[in-house]
Amino acid sequence: MSSKGSERSSSVPPSKPKALRCPVCDQIFSSNARFCPYDGDRLVEAPEWNPEADPLLGKTIDNRYKVLSVLGEGATGKLYKVQHAALNRLFALKVLRRDVARDAAMVERFLREAQAAAAIGHPNIISVSDFGSIAVDGPGKVELPYFVMEYLSGASLAALLRREKTLSPARAGPLFLQAASALAAAHAAGVIHRDLKPANIFVSKSGDREFVKILDFGVAKIEGTGRLTKVGMVTGTPDYMCPERVLGQPIDQRADIYALGAIMYQCFTGRTPFEAEIYAEVLKKHVSEAPRPIEQVVKDAKALGAFGPIVMRCLAKNPKDRFETGSELAAAIEAALAPFQVAETKRRSAEKAKPGRSSSMRGLLGGALGAIFVLALAALGAWLLQKASEKPEPPPPVETVPSAVEAPKQSAAAPVPAPPVELRQPAGGEVARPPAGAVPASTRTAPQPVKTTPSAPTELVNPWVGRDGR
């Protein structure tokens, strides 16, 4: 019995851990990751991590934000889904991790970067609306700073690439254009992202259009004190890290240009510019190797249009060979996107000209109804025309009912009228002729003789006219 039970349990695959932890920096990651993106160490299981056991769940922060759930945990902070008590609106609230919150310089940098993100005010950068601090009990009471951002619905570019592998230039181009415009606004405000990657580019949809929001501007990856800056450690994501950052040299806005170029390379080819078994080897390739030309990686180089040279220029080793600003990059992307937009417009016009099955059925039904309507109008017109052409029926004959006829005054010489003549049909078929001097009768109908009374006046009664003359 026990052996059967053990056999049954052994056939069930082991459950996937909820989260993984880096043994060096002690940061938590999803179970899909294998290595820590910050120091390259292999991740281990973190069974103790339970987002449902978070002490802030169900509490209201600063009498305004009720914590509903944990959205995730990053390098320096934890993200929560909250609801504003008065506005009844959802927000995302990020709290600095407790293990780095004791560093005053880290706290100051956290808030300063949050204020900088709020000051950019660009539609393609996530907006920051509030910030404050949370008092946490325990040994040595700590104030954890937090800031509040807009709550987004959609998916990250990383999630889209996991699902679709690659994106066409016609679809990815508008996303890159928005991202480059956002970088231009941030750089103009003196903010450098320093860790741009697909996970930090959020894509939301409105109708048939996709919109970009860049997340974690200078906040998620903060260079400060402690173990984050220990010797030999490089913060950031190696797959999108520029050579000067790997070498520890000063960086400027062109570091973000390089990162966006690596993202574009991945979207078009389905792979990052440099791949290796360990992250240290990836960093080495960023410094010493040129990426394989994108035209040699994609299936159809012509399908890229002008995007190929743009991507390769972004990935130049020397910052001077890259686009100088986000605005310059955005202009190049817009020019490269124009032919695809024209082709897309023609494609949609062709689709409208050749509707699908459902559209054809709707067209046939509409045509049938239109034909019925036209036939009905024609029948109605014919009927009206026929009515108009018909002669109106004469009114019924007016019957004259004389009540009395006043005989005119006769003069002495007036002749006496002849007596009425009655016509008869002879038996032999001949028509009898009246005697000489008689008044001929009508050939159609013989009127009935009217007897007159000389004493009364004549009054004619018309059935169509009332007695009062109306």
Give the span between the Cα atoms of 170 and 177, in whole angstroms: 11
Q: At what angle do helices 157-164 and 254-269 cross, to 10 degrees?
A: 20
Q: Which two tokens stand for residue 62?
A: 């600063």
Helix (H, G, I), strand (E, B) or coil at 413: coil
Helix (H, G, I), strand (E, B) or coil at 249: coil
225: nearest Cα among 104, 70, 308: 104
56: nearest Cα among 141, 136, 142: 136
186: nearest Cα among 242, 248, 255: 255
CA dihedral 89, 90, 91, 97 (to 10 degrees): 130
User: Is the separation of the CB atoms in 443 and 391 below 8 Å?
Assistant: no
Give catalytic status of residue 195 as yes or no.
yes
Please pick, among 39, 195, 216, 239, the residue that the annotation labels catalytic. 195
User: Is the separation of the CB atoms in 218 and 117 below 8 Å?
Assistant: yes
User: Is the separation of the CB atoms in 202 and 336 below 8 Å?
Assistant: no
Gap between the terminal Cα atoms of the chain: 117
The catalytic residue positions are 195
